[in-house]
Amino acid sequence: MSLPAIFLDSLTGTPGFDLQAFSQVHRSGEQVTSVRVHPQKGEDNSRTIAGIPASPVPWSRYGYYLDERPSFTFDPLFHAGTYYVQEASSMFLEQAFLQLNKGEEGIKVLDLCAAPGGKSTHLLSLLPANSLLVSNEVIRQRAGVLKENIIKWGAENAVVTNNDPKDFAHLSGFFDVLVIDAPCSGSGLFRRDPEAIQEWSLNNVALCSQRQQRILADVWPALKEGGVLIYSTCSYSAEEDEQIMDWIQRELGGENCLLTVDPAWGILETTSESSNRGYRFWPDRLKGEGFFLACFRKTTGDSVAPVKPRKLPDAASKADREMTGRWMDVSGKTLIRHQQTVYAWPAELYNEFVWLLEQTKVLYSGIKTGELMRDKLVPDHAMAMSSLVLPGIRRVELDNGAAIRYLQRKDIQLVGQTPGWALACFQGKPLGWLNILPGRVNNYYPKELRILKDI
């Protein structure tokens, strides 16, 4: 891989840039593979993931490097949501989030540029009890992928929205934490995606920098006084990193926050012209791709908009609740009925969920539990992915071959099973629903998620 001279020249003088080492690490062809495990579905201290030896990412308790890249598509546990494939440097979000939020319960977090969901699923593993995540993506198609990944992660306290950043401005002072993983010129991922090199230009860096400022200015009112902004990019360019830090301080009045970083991690603490500090990840200094992160606290208060929903959605009837309760644990949940569909929301976040429905373009919220058909509930895939399914619901264990067939939405054969609904499981982890009928099995794996390839 050869990097354009104009790109390398533009990095001269950038904190931590070492031309020789940087060029060498891009020439080497080395690829780093890392995943982040689901705290409930996955195994902590995993020695192997997808059959590959794993070793910890030092700055994330859930992150693991894999010695080589397996075919994730053909690992049923990937589809069960036991882990998310994520670049290691960007897992540093965990340090920022945990060091700046001291475990206060019931916080509200906006992940503004969230697709495909790496930071959002990570945040869902870190949020204290009773907290809310609004996971937003402005591009509709990408928001669909985000929704699928949030469903696979199985959390009930997330709302997926499809809004422009400026749409959040009137949710004045609503959020305790803003995560802005900004669209950027993407140089940090050149090693993984060499084709992106062709799209890099000085002009694009300037455009990205302007867009980052616009996004920040648009959404800043939604952060409450005392709240924290976590800003990140995967660009090496100072125009998108250090210069944006100074812009946040100068134009928005954000107060730079420092993080404690173990020197052994190889992360560079960078200082801007106005003495703001951020954290740079250089692939020649650590095991990960290019990344930048900085944090700011809001010290001035925008007026806080009261959370006052006007129109309440239809609550499910007592009978609907009873029916849903035969499948899943409904304690602490408010059940909402929209036509024939039932959703489970955390009761303590009811007002916020309704308010968001009124104020933003919500694509998904809580857990979709199923469709009511006459006096029955047909369970939804999202319920299977959550941890709410009752232990008494039948689980059918599939071997690797059958699990792949199930995920391809092909016919599967089961012997000695009595008719009825069951969770299809691989190594005890739910993949989705099956309806066993006399003589055949109906595969309820969602069509849009099915594996299209053959091994």
* First-residue to last-residue Cα distance in the chain: 30
CB of 17 to ligand SAM, least distance (A): 21
CB of 214 to ligand SAM, least distance (A): 7
Of the candidate residues 66, 88, 124, 138, the single one contacting ligand SAM (CB under 6 A): 138
Sole window of 2-10, 108-116, 316-324, 337-345 interacting with ligand SAM (rule: CB under 6 A) = 108-116
Q: Does 113 bind ligand SAM (CB under 6 A)?
A: yes
Q: Does 114 bind ligand SAM (CB under 6 A)?
A: yes
Sole window of 131-139, 305-313, 326-334, 442-450 interacting with ligand SAM (rule: CB under 6 A) = 131-139
**List 113, 234, 295, 425, catalytic entry:** 234
- Among residues 360, 311, 359, the alpha carbon closest in space to that of 338 is found at 311
Q: Which is nearer to ligand SAM, 211 or 450 (CB)?
A: 211
Q: Which is nearer to ligand SAM, 211 or 277 (CB)?
A: 211
Sole window of 133-141, 321-329, 383-391, 422-430 interacting with ligand SAM (rule: CB under 6 A) = 133-141
Known catalytic residue at 425: no
Q: Which is nearer to ligand SAM, 114 or 424 (CB)?
A: 114
How many CA atoms, within 13 angstroms, populate the side-chain half-sphere of residue 28?
A: 11
Size of the site for ligand SAM (CB under 6 A): 16
Q: Does 171 bind ligand SAM (CB under 6 A)?
A: no
Sole window of 1-9, 135-143, 291-299, 390-398 interacting with ligand SAM (rule: CB under 6 A) = 135-143
How many CA atoms, within 13 angstroms, populate the side-chain half-sphere of residue 156?
A: 27
Q: Which is nearer to ligand SAM, 31 or 141 (CB)?
A: 141
Q: Which is nearer to ligand SAM, 143 or 377 (CB)?
A: 143
Of the candidate residues 32, 115, 328, 431, the single one contacting ligand SAM (CB under 6 A): 115
- Beta partners for 338? 341
Q: Which is nearer to ligand SAM, 136 or 369 (CB)?
A: 136
Q: Does 183 bind ligand SAM (CB under 6 A)?
A: yes
Residues with Cβ within 8 Å of residue 398, at least 6 apart in sequence = 76, 406, 412, 424, 425, 426, 431
Q: Does 148 bind ligand SAM (CB under 6 A)?
A: no
- Among residues 349, 267, 284, the alpha carbon closest in space to that of 89 is found at 267
Residue nearest to ligand SAM (CB): 118
Take residue 29 and report the two structure tokens written for it.
């062809």
Of the candidate residues 57, 126, 127, 215, the single one contacting ligand SAM (CB under 6 A): 215
Q: Does 139 bind ligand SAM (CB under 6 A)?
A: yes
Of the candidate residues 72, 74, 85, 142, the single one contacting ligand SAM (CB under 6 A): 142
Sole window of 132-140, 189-197, 247-255, 389-397 interacting with ligand SAM (rule: CB under 6 A) = 132-140
CB of 405 to ligand SAM, least distance (A): 30
Q: Which is nearer to ligand SAM, 90 or 369 (CB)?
A: 90
Of the candidate residues 70, 118, 283, 370, the single one contacting ligand SAM (CB under 6 A): 118
CA distance 378 to 325: 13
Q: Does 181 bind ligand SAM (CB under 6 A)?
A: yes
Q: Which is nearer to ligand SAM, 291 or 350 (CB)?
A: 291
CA distance 185 to 182: 10
Q: Does 116 bind ligand SAM (CB under 6 A)?
A: yes
Q: Does 361 bind ligand SAM (CB under 6 A)?
A: no
Q: Which residues bind ligand SAM (CB under 6 A)?
A: 113-119, 137-139, 142, 165, 181, 183, 211, 215
Active site residues: 234
